[in-house]
Amino acid sequence: MSQAAELLERMLQEVFNEPDPRRRAAAIAEVCTEDVVFVDAGRTVTGRDQLAATVTALLAEGPGLVFTPAGNFRGVGDLGMRSWRLGAPGGEPVLGGLDVAQVVDGRIARLWTVLDT
């Protein structure tokens, strides 16, 4: 598994699927640079604390929903890409998207989330 693939998997499982804020913050500290930039259709945030707050707010919008990987990891150079789906465990997805991560010095420095239309 490439470094970007591993980091994106950890982001999905240990950050976006982690209900405990302390464990989520610890994972963000391990996976992301201090000045990580997260961009989605509604916002751009900078730094680990802002990323953690953003994920907390996103999780509150869909309690009980989980993110699951969809399709194969793709990558080139320092970029990694992974599709995902969001839905109730065992249920149909209600949302899907693609995460694109730029890895710098072994951590995610930039993370873009592009939602499926």
Average pLDDT, stretch 26-51? 97
Residue 80, domain extent: 3-115
The whole-angstrom separation of Cα 92 and Cα 111 is 25
CATH number of the domain that residue 107 is part of: 3.10.450.50
pLDDT band at 117 (very low <50, low <70, confident <90, very high): confident
pLDDT band at 17 (very low <50, low <70, confident <90, very high): very high
The whole-angstrom separation of Cα 87 and Cα 1 is 26
Average pLDDT, stretch 52-69? 94
**Does residue 31 contact residue 107 with C-beta atoms inside 8 Å?**
yes
pLDDT digits (tens, 9 = 90+) for 78-88: 999 999 999 99
Q: What secondary structure does DSSP assign to 84-97, as a single string?
A: EEEESTTS-EEEEE
The predicted model scores a pTM of 0.93
pLDDT digits (tens, 9 = 90+) for 63-72: 999 999 999 9
What are 97's strand-pairing partners? 84, 115
3-class secondary structure per residue, 33-57: EEEEEEEECCEEEECHHHHHHHHHH
Number of domains present in the structure of the chain? 1
